Amino acid sequence: MKSIEELEAIRKKTLDEISLRSNKDGVRIVVGMATCGIAAGARPVMTTFLEELKKRGISNVSVTMTGCIGVCRLEPIVDVIHPDGSKVTYVKMNPEKAAQIVAEHIVNGRVCTKYTIEQEL
């Protein structure tokens, strides 16, 4: 059984690191996590984003959840919002696509156009 004291060691270790999502000027990833999103599998998508960002040591990207965006049939939906306010909306997400979006969009700056909402309209 883990003991709560172990948290102290992790805290000390992580104090020196920049918090994963401390940078307010960075890219924001927003996952739709209302009833529709959760039922469609948004939770593993959010978990994958967190894991992939950590794996790649990316610290200036925030991952948060939001409510229903209004197009439930396309859930899970993820918005990637750039510091300049421009936004890319990805739809029908799954963990594999999330990993790909981190690699392509977040790291290399290339929008994964085949997963964006424009493909569905």
Decide: is 73 part of the binding site for another protein (CB under 8 A): no
Interface residue with another protein among 32, 48, 53, 97 (CB under 8 A) is: 53
Decide: is 47 part of the binding site for another protein (CB under 8 A): yes
Question: What does the CA dihedral 102, 36, 47, 12 come to, rounded to 10 degrees?
Answer: 120
Interface residue with another protein among 7, 110, 113, 118 (CB under 8 A) is: 7
Q: Are 113 and 95 spatial neighbours (Cβ–Cβ below 8 Å)?
A: no
Burial of 23 (0-12, 13-18, 19+ CB in 10 A): middle
- Interface with another protein (CB under 8 A), residue total 38
Interface residue with another protein among 26, 27, 38, 117 (CB under 8 A) is: 38
Decide: is 29 part of the binding site for another protein (CB under 8 A): no
* Cα 118 from Cα 88, distance rounded (Å): 10
Other CB atoms within 10 Å distance of the CB of residue 46: 24
List contacts with another protein (CB under 8 A).
1-2, 4, 6-8, 10-11, 13-15, 17, 19-22, 33-36, 38-39, 43, 46-47, 50-51, 53-54, 62-65, 67-70, 72
